[in-house]
Structure 1
Amino acid sequence: MFNKDVVAAIQNKENYKTVILIASIIVFLFIVFFILYANSFFMKQRKKEFGMYLLYGMKERHVATMVFFETLFLSTISVSSGILIGGFLSKFFGAVLMNLMHYNEDISFSFPLEAIVSTILLFAFLIGIITIQSYFNVLRLQLVELFHAKEKMDKPVKFSMPLAILSIILIVAAYYTITLAGNTDIWKDYFKETLIVTTVALIAGTYLFFRQFSGWILQKMSQSKNYFKGNKMLWISSLRFAIRGNTVNFTFNSLISAIVIFTVGFIAVDYAVKGDVVKKEFPNHFAFSTQDDKTQKQIEQLMNDSHPIVDHERITGIQTEKIPNRKAFFSYPEYYTEEFYLFPESQLNAIVDLREAGEKVDLKGKEAIVLTRGLDEPTKYKSSQPEITVLEDNTFRVVEKMRYPLLSIPTSPGGDSHPQPSVLIISDEAFNYLKENRTLSSYEIFQVEDPNTSNDLSRKIYDIVMTTEGAYYSAYIDMYSIDTESSSLVLFSVAFFAVIALFALGSVIYFKQLREATEEREHYLILRKIGVDDKEIKKIIRKQLLFVFLPPLILGLVHSWYLLYYSVILVIKDLPSLTTIIFSVMGLYILTYLIFYVSSTSIYYKIINEKNTR
């Protein structure tokens, strides 16, 4: 937000700062909740330590003061190193953002004072919250409870086969309802109700899946004939006791994982599609009302100086009176001008040649074609052809509604837009007949080299053209820069948030395993005494933690796949890189969880060996 090179490159600076500020607030709030959870977890881990301090005569405020100075010390190291790393990474992340926006700007290392002060103030606020939380945690504890905190163990849950089956039914029912999206009346007529029911079913099904179904599977495994073979009994029995304490974490991780993967996948696809959409909706690099000869030469000189003209065409049309009732031709008439602009078929065909995109038309007599934008479905009328009457008593039969913007939405470098001209294509003979004794409107359409970098050029031409009241102006770059910058910012912010969320979710499971490893050191010490070697213990740990990390990940991936497949993949079928984008997002998620799994097994093994190496 404060990097001068990035801000200088951005076209819509206020919008950029607003988006980054909102993203920063969201990230900080997420960090606050996560740090509070982590602090609460470690405070519980130190109950016995605090009990010893209180027994020796320390007051609660003294313990809280000690925690405050610990937090202050760790936070100072954390914030200082974070600011340094952030400053050095600013060049990298700035380059990533510029690459997403397709800007060729060099970003330097930056340590803006505003950013440093903001970070320090936010973390000072966080330190205060942690200190208050720690103080109240100490106040709520009883001395007897502190010494017996470690002895409080989870009890195995009684698992029910009907509830286990119900969890599968709820999840399958939610999936089935998702597959009906867009094709049935249940979503069209009862969207909110269906969405609420589907969401509740998915949440309840996920919770019961971990609470009952996974426990039921473990229970059945414990009743199998080969339960006592190998090390199966050891890791299964441990997991059965841990189900109660892990159910909420597993459920939360699966659901949040699904949301994160779906959101990142959806935004990534939206970003990939945005460029193609803008090209289709704004195919004219520059289009504006014809100027006088002097002004026209001035504009063309400006173009050739920075973005040489590749091709040029002038089209001439007739503006009609206002036609309020246009519902027969446009699904959203409010997005189009009330008056129509009539152009001959030959000029449309000339623009098709200029763009090298679209289909040429051949009209006879009173036949006509209505040109629409992306919101309207293209239609060919065969039997019942709607009629339109223009210029007093001239009636045309509309044979087709074609999605092809001859004159796209008027734009401005600042981002404002106006209703798109309603265009009616008629035969050359009909146009030649109607143009007699009428005022004609001419428009210049230019294609230039490298239109993606023509922001400054657009501003200059816009200022010249719009000195004439009511003039038409539209430039591809105006909408491209807005859409690209906004979609890039959203993708950048969501991806950044997803990384933080992913590490936080993985850490929740990670913390839980640290606590369980600490509690089970005595059990593993007994296993060693009865002859279980290190290799076998590592196998037990790997299997136990695989069951902890894998189910939430798999269920989260499946949830997100159903959401993405039926809301994105089936809707956008003509994007070759679509599945690659989605699978890349899922692949990165799996890789991160794999890193957490490997590190958890390593630290788990180290913790259970602590007493044995003393």
Structure 2
Amino acid sequence: MNLVDLSWRNMKRNFRLYTIYFISMFVGVVIYFTFSGLMFNKDVVAAIQNKENYKMVISLASVIVFLFIVFFILYANSFFMKQRKKEFGMYLLYGMKERQVAAMVFFETLFLSAISVFSGILIGGLLSKFFGAVLMNLMRYNEDISFAFPLEAIVSTVLLFALLIIIITIQSYFNVRRVQLVELFHAKEKRDKPFTFSFGLALLSIILIAGSYYMITIGDTDIWKDHFKETLAAVTVALIAGTYLFFRQFSGWMLQKLSQRKNYFIGSKMLWISSLRFSIRGNTVNFTFNSLISAIVIFTVGFIAVDYAVKGEVVKKEFPNHIAFSTQDDATQRQIEQLMNDSHPIIDHETITGIQTEKIQNRNAFFSHPEYYTEEFYLFPESQLNAIVDLRKAGEKADLEGEEAIVLTRGIDEPEKYKSSQPEMTVLEDNTFRVVEKIRYPLLSIPTSPGGNTQPQPSVLIISNEAFENLREHHTLSSFEIYQIEDPKTSNDVSREIYDLVMKTEGAYYSAYIDMYSLDTESSSLILFSVAFFAVIALFALGSVIYFKQLREATEEREHYAILRKIGVDDKEMKKIIRKQLLFVFLPPLLLGLLHSWFLLYYTVILVIKDLPSLTAIIFSVMGLYVLTYLIFYISSVSIYYKIVSEKNTR
């Protein structure tokens, strides 16, 4: 029998163990190919407006995804090797050399990888349609995505997983080489000793966590403003140390107290509590790591999801004009309208006319961030503002009299009504107006270009019709064309053509919704999509770490459960013990992770962004999906744990 035959027989004989390892590799291939396949999917690329930005983000994210997968599969391989130490010991005892054992592992890995890569690419290609549709939906595009198996994605997947096979083989070789033969036979006989717990350290863990939460709640105080880096470092260290001590000391102290109660020997309490007390030492790092990573994943996905929702709303509010530009000559105007009607028919159109002023010296009194606005103002009559309100079907109409005026601002400036003391603005030499209100309403949006560059937003002052009529005869007028078109989210090409025509006039104004939408919304969609993928990988890895550890512990606990059966513990009671034991393994890290992330999200997102109706729904949805995935891992672990501890009795 050669090594290839031996490898194949091993795979068939230890089907369950190899299945777990295969699933790890299979999931890795599916995730990587699905993700990288989107970069080369022709339907997706055709729909994206900023193709260079898309490929750059997806390429970077693909590398990060692959690194995640490498670390995860190496962990799975490490678990796989530990489970087979006794088997390797037998091979070495029978005279096989270490390099032969490593060669056998190489052939096994090759078989598994070949099957994983082939089936993973197949499933990944089928899933590409679904994930492509998800991405298009995030970007709010109505594009049909077909099934795709891009050759570039297939080649990169095969090459990268070939590299991974080499890394796994090297890892396996060193694992076999550095373990002594005696250790191989006794690898599964090691057991943690019960740990002594301190009430003082248990209390310290609660104090550290509570102190961290308190510091997060006072994020707008002077201590954060004056010493941000130091405070952030202190809160981070306290949260990590508190979480570690919570699992190392507080949970152990709680179990110890439960073991001292009078009803400890009633029912199955003694069985699952004593088992957990023995495993606290070995599980502390895993529990701490899972809690902290869970908090980071939930916070990051929640934050990015809210940012995505906010950016979509912000672009709509800040760029309500689908296309707006300085009025052109008649021939150019007709050419521009023809371009729009050929691809994105005009829904509505309005021409507004205003007067440009000289630089206003006291404009700082009206803007919180004057650097984002032009130093000159445009004066528009209230009738022009009301016409745009009708055009957009959004906003409130103005009703001004005499020298009353309204300053228009963007989202970074808070709206304000001036009642008792109305500030004055002097424009056009000796014309003074009383500002009665400051409102968020971009009559003229920020000037844009198809490349995403912007300029300061035109400062706008709305005055009464009577005042405007008195001024217009003695000053030069500036006119602007404002258009609403069909499907502005796909108007990138026509925007580029119109921009080139308008910019032939020096100093002309141009602004288009698509220029910022394609930059902000596509970018935030890509980031959300990528982060969601990272979260899936991280969650799968975390769940698998717990899952693998429980499988190892279940294998080690077979004899103990066999004894329980002999003394009369039935299957129903056995399952109850396992459920309680694993509930303690899964639930505390999850609950603490949720609590950490909730404090972070509530005080950095929810309280800051108050005008987004779907805010809490987004955050609770993220948390709900995370809990659901953990629940699936828990139920699966209980099932496989019971099968393993029952295995010996069915042989």
Q: Quick one: distance in 1 between partners of 2:517 and 2:191?
A: 59
* Residue aligning to 2:253: 216
Tell me which of 429, 433, 448 is aligned to 1:411.
448
For residues 297 and 2 of structure 1, what CA distance do their matches in structure 2 show?
39
Code of the aligned partner of 1:79 = V
Q: Does 1:360 align with 2:397?
A: yes
Q: Secondary structure at the match of 1:568?
A: helix
Alignment match of 2:381 (pick from 332, 344, 348): 344
Q: Does 1:317 align with 2:354?
A: yes
5 Å matches for 1:545-584?
545-584=582-621
Whole-angstrom CA distance in 2 between matches of 1:353 and 1:538: 67
Provide the C-alpha distance between the structure 1 equivalents of 2:234 and 2:446, rounded to a whole number of angstroms. 40
Q: How does 1:10-49 map to 2 (within 5 A)?
A: 10-49=48-87
Distance across 2 between alignment mates of 1:371 and 1:302: 31
- Shift of the alpha carbon at 1:66? 2.0
**Is 1:608 the counterpart of 2:630 in the alignment?**
no
CA shift for structure 1 position 466: 2.0
Q: What is the CA distance between 1:51 and its match in structure 2?
A: 2.2
Deviations 1:321-367 (CA, angstroms, capped at 9, x unpaired): 34476433322222222322222233223222322222233444444
Q: Tell me which amino acid in the other structure corresponds to 1:96.
A: V
- Other-structure match for 2:311: 274
Select which of 400, 403, 412 maps to 1:375: 412
Aligned pair 1:129/2:186, yes or no?
A: no
The alignment status of 1:292 with 2:309, answered yes or no, reads no
Q: State the secondary structure of the residue aligned to 2:648.
A: coil
Verify: 1:177 aligned to 2:177, yes or no. Answer: no
1:46 partner letter = R
Cα deviation per residue 1:59-104 (whole Å; 9 max; x = unaligned)? 2222222222222221111111111111111111111111221212
Give the drift of 1:221. Answer: 0.5
Q: In the aligned structure 1, how far is the partner of 2:572 from the partner of 2:390?
A: 72
Secondary structure of residue in 1 paired with 2:594: helix
- Residue identity in the other structure for 2:210: V
Aligned-partner Cα distance in 2 for 1:142–1:385:
86
Contact 2:209 2:243 in 1 (8 A): yes
- Correspondence 1:40-439 to 2 at 5 A: 40-182=78-220, 184-323=221-360, 326-439=363-476
Query: Could you tell me whether the CA contact under 8 Å between 2:362 and 2:425 is conserved in 1?
Result: no
Counterpart residue type for residue 162 of structure 1: G
Q: Which moved more, 1:363-372 or 1:242-251?
A: 363-372
Shift of 1:596: 0.8
- Map Cα deviations across residues 372-399 of structure 1 (whole Å, 9 max, x no partner): 1111112233455444443344444434
- In structure 1, how many angstroms separate the alpha carbons of the residues matched to 2:115 and 2:343? 50
The residue type equivalent to 1:307 in the other structure is H
Q: Which moved more, 1:397-406 or 1:10-19?
A: 397-406
CA distance in 2, matches of 1:130, 1:452: 46
State TM-score, norm by structure 2.
0.90
Q: Please report how far the alpha carbon of residue 268 of structure 1 lies from its aligned counterpart in structure 2 after TM superposition.
A: 1.7
RMSD of the TM alignment (CA)? Answer: 1.9
> What secondary structure, in the 3-state scheme, does the structure 2 residue paired with 1:531 have?
coil
- Shift of residue 492 of structure 1? 1.2
Separation (CA, whole Å) in 1 of partners of 2:392 and 2:265: 74
Does structure 1 conserve the Cα–Cα contact (< 8 Å) formed by 2:49 and 2:490?
Answer: no
Give the superposition deviation at 1:499: 1.1
Q: String of CA shifts for 1:522-541, please: whole Å, max 9, x gaps.
A: 11111111111111111111
- Map of 1:448 onto structure 2: 485
Deviation string for 1:189-248 (max 9, x for gaps)?
Answer: 322222222221211111111111111111000000000001110010000001111111
8 A contact 2:319–2:445 mirrored in 1: yes
CA distance in 2, matches of 1:280, 1:550: 43
Match of 1:19, SS state, is helix
Higher mean Cα deviation, 106-115 or 191-200?
A: 191-200
Report the TM-score when normalising by structure 1. Answer: 0.95
Question: What residue is the counterpart of 2:7 in the other structure?
Answer: none
- In structure 1, the residue matched to 2:22 is none
Task: Tell me how far apart the structure 2 counterparts of residues 65 and 274 of structure 1 sit (CA, whole Å).
Answer: 54
SS in 2 for 1:610: helix
Write out per-residue CA displacement over residues 263-303 of structure 1, whole angstroms, 9 at most, x where no aligned residue.
Answer: 11222222222222111101112211111122223333333
Quick check: 9-18 or 411-420, which moved more?
411-420
Say whether the 8 Å CA contact 2:91–2:101 is kept in structure 1: yes
Q: State the SS of the aligned residue for 1:227.
A: helix
Equivalent-residue separation in structure 1 for 2:88 and 2:412 (angstroms): 65
Corresponding residue for 1:516? 553
- CA shift, 1:178, in A, is 1.7
CA contact (8 A) 2:351 2:479 kept: yes
- Report the Cα offset of residue 611 of structure 1: 1.6
Stretches of structure 2 lacking an aligned partner (at least 5 in a row): 1-38
8 Å CA contact 2:381–2:468 kept in 1: the answer is: yes
CA contact (8 A) 2:377 2:459 kept: yes
Residues in 1 aligned to 2:590 and 2:637: alpha-carbon distance in whole angstroms: 15
Q: Which shows bigger deviation, 81-90 or 462-471? A: 462-471
2 CA distance for matches of 1:223 and 1:31?
A: 44
| Alignment partners' CA distance in 1, 2:375 and 2:113 | 62
Residue 411 of structure 2 aligns to which amino acid in structure 1?
A: G
Q: Deviations over 1:519-567 (max 9, x none)?
A: 1111111111111111111111111111111111111111112222222
Most deviating of 53-62 and 299-308: 299-308
CA distance in 1, matches of 2:63, 2:437: 50
CA distance in 2, matches of 1:146, 1:326: 79
CA distance in 2, matches of 1:355, 1:514: 61
Q: Distance in 2 between matches of 1:5 and 1:351?
A: 37
Whichever residue aligns with residue 89 of structure 1, its letter is L
Query: 1:534 — aligned with what?
Result: 571
Q: Which moved more, 1:159-168 or 1:56-65?
A: 56-65
